[in-house]
């Protein structure tokens, strides 16, 4: 017979007091049954490189806290009423994924979890041990959340809550307090039933089968990767400059979901649909000043500049030609390559001579590959229509 130090009722009361809408608990037993699933993900080369690299540590919260007894999982919604009504600018703009429209969630969830820890300490009347795990820790946040009973795993891989759909951030408080669970430790997988909308809608086929992703094909990863974007992903990127929401926007489980009451996640239209010319004009410092408070800045300004060029290419915006031509001489290879590609989409005949000249001076083999088209007979060039 287990003696709980904290009842589920008391934990729910703490959550309510702090303003956490979705909370669950599981014990700190390792996630042994997740191991083969994770191993396959790494071995098949589907990992993005952003995941914690040691699989054995990912399934065991005791690597974060040796005396761990319970894992408290929270889901914090980020779609506010303003998110739904934010006006989409008419002129061509880039698109940022909704999860980055407000302030960086890492700090917000950490504050909430630390507050929970403090309240638990008061409730159990002893010093407690606890560690916050949000996104960057070894834990697989979705697996912890699912076993805690706060939602189900969708075929798009997302953790989907009954109240807020998948538009939630996840965080875990690992603690040495023995807490009464609110649900059985059963991961829900069946709620999608026979729906397959996300699998069909994914622009790159990154959802290789239900519940399984090839992260390297996911456009969210592609917008965050460093270097030159492989050609096959450039057209599917469309106007995306950061993240991708397609497999969530098509999901019927997200229809009619409740909205968050979190001022930190209120959107700023300039940041949601950024002016691509403005992005290309920003210095590193200015970029951080404008975007540094969001979760979209951690890879630096350069991935944004590169993505902005790809987006301008996809929009076939002729006004971008002088800028794209000037960027053929940029010091960064991914900018030169993306500029050459954008020109090939917007006005290949008009830009051919400039790109051909750039090719002659180009030392980088990968960039040369993206300029190669300009050496072809101009009568066979695509017009970008």
- β-strand 159-160 against 240-242: which pairing, if any? unpaired
Q: Does 34 bind ligand B12 (CB under 6 A)?
A: yes
Q: Does 156 bind ligand B12 (CB under 6 A)?
A: yes
Q: Contact letters (x/-) for ligand B12, 67-96, by CB under 6 A?
A: ------------------------------
Q: Does 155 bind ligand SF4 (CB under 6 A)?
A: yes
**At closest approach, how far in Å is the CB of 324 from ligand SF4?**
25
Size of the site for ligand B12 (CB under 6 A): 41
Q: Contact letters (x/-) for ligand SF4, 219-238, by CB under 6 A?
A: xx------------------
Q: Does 335 bind ligand SF4 (CB under 6 A)?
A: no
Residue 264: DSSP 8-state: G
For the chain, the helix, strand and coil percentages under 3-state DSSP, each to the nearest 5: 50, 10, 40
Task: Tell me the C-alpha distance between 104 and 120, whole Å.
Answer: 25
Q: Does 37 bind ligand B12 (CB under 6 A)?
A: yes
**At closest approach, how far in Å is the CB of 195 from ligand SF4?**
3
**At closest approach, how far in Å is the CB of 346 from ligand B12?**
26
Are 102 and 265 a contacting pair, CB within 8 Å? yes
Are 296 and 223 a contacting pair, CB within 8 Å? no
* Interacting residue with ligand B12 among 11, 20, 22, 153 (CB under 6 A): 153
- Is residue 214 annotated as a catalytic residue, yes or no? no
- All residues at 6 or more sequence positions from 331 whose CB lies less than 8 Å from its CB, including other chains: none
Query: What angle separates helix 333-346 from helix 301-315, to the nearest 10 degrees?
Result: 10
Are 133 and 172 a contacting pair, CB within 8 Å? yes
Q: Does 55 bind ligand B12 (CB under 6 A)?
A: no
Q: For the chain, how big is the Rg over CA atoms in Å?
A: 23
Q: Which of 27, 60, 104, 135 is catalytic?
A: 135
* Interacting residue with ligand B12 among 143, 241, 324, 358 (CB under 6 A): 143
How crowded is residue 380: how many other Cβ atoms within 10 Å of its Cβ?
7
Q: Which is nearer to ligand B12, 51 or 275 (CB)?
A: 51
Are 58 and 38 a contacting pair, CB within 8 Å? yes
User: What is the distance between the terminal CA atoms of the chain, rounded to a whole angstrom?
Assistant: 71
Which residue, chain included where needed, has tokens 């086929």? 205
Alpha-carbon distance values, 135 to 49, 110, 114, 173, 181 (Å): 13, 11, 15, 12, 23
Q: Which is nearer to ligand B12, 148 or 338 (CB)?
A: 148
Task: Tell me the C-alpha distance between 93 and 327, whole Å.
Answer: 19
Range in contact with ligand B12 (rule: CB under 6 A) among 211-219, 310-318, 367-375, 377-385: 211-219
- Within positions 241 to 280, which residues make up the interface with ligand SF4, using CB under 6 A? 244, 246-247, 250-253
Contact set with ligand B12 (CB under 6 A): 33-34, 37-38, 41, 48, 50-51, 97, 99, 134-135, 137, 139-143, 146, 153, 156-159, 166, 168-170, 187, 211-213, 215, 218, 220-221, 224, 243-245, 247
Contact set with ligand SF4 (CB under 6 A): 154-156, 192, 195-198, 202-204, 206-207, 213, 218-220, 244, 246-247, 250-253
Give the residue numbers annotated as catalytic, written as ranges: 135
């Amino acid at each position: 017979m287990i003696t709980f130090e904290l009842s589920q009722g008391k934990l729910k009361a703490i959550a309510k007091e702090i303003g956490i809408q979705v909370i669950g608990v599981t014990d700190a037993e390792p996630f042994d049954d997740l191991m083969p699933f994770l191993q396959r993900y790494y071995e098949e080369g589907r990992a993005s490189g952003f995941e914690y690299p040691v699989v054995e540590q990912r399934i065991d919260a005791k690597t974060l806290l040796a005396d761990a007894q319970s894992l408290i999982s929270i889901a914090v919604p980020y779609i506010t009423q303003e998110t739904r009504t934010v006006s989409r600018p008419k002129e061509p703009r880039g698109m940022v994924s909704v999860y980055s429209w407000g302030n960086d969630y890492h700090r917000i969830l950490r504050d909430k979890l630390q507050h929970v820890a403090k309240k638990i300490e008061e409730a159990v009347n002893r010093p407690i041990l606890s560690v916050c795990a949000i996104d960057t820790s070894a834990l697989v946040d979705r697996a912890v959340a699912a076993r805690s009973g706060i939602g189900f795993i969708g075929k798009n891989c997302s953790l989907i809550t009954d109240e807020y759909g998948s538009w939630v951030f996840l965080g875990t408080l690992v603690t040495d307090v023995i807490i009464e669970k609110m649900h059985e430790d059963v991961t829900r997988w069946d709620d999608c039933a026979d729906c397959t909308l996300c699998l069909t809608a994914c622009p790159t086929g990154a959802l290789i089968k239900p519940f399984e992703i090839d992260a390297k094909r996911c456009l969210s990863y592609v917008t965050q990767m460093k270097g030159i974007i492989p050609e096959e992903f450039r057209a599917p990127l469309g106007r995306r400059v950061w993240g991708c929401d397609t497999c969530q926007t098509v999901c019927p489980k997200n229809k009619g979901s409740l909205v968050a009451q979190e001022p930190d996640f209120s959107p700023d239209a300039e940041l949601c649909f950024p002016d691509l010319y403005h992005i290309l004009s920003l210095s590193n410092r200015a970029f951080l000043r404008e975007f540094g408070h969001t979760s979209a800045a951690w890879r630096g300004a350069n991935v944004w500049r590169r993505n902005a060029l790809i987006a301008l290419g996809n929009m076939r915006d002729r006004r971008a030609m002088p800028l794209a031509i000037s960027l053929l001489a940029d010091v960064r290879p991914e900018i030169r390559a993306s500029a050459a590609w954008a020109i090939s989409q917007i006005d290949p005949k008009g830009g051919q001579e400039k790109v051909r000249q750039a090719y002659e001076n180009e030392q980088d083999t990968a960039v040369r590959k993206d300029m190669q088209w300009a050496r072809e007979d101009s009568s066979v060039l695509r017009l970008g229509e």
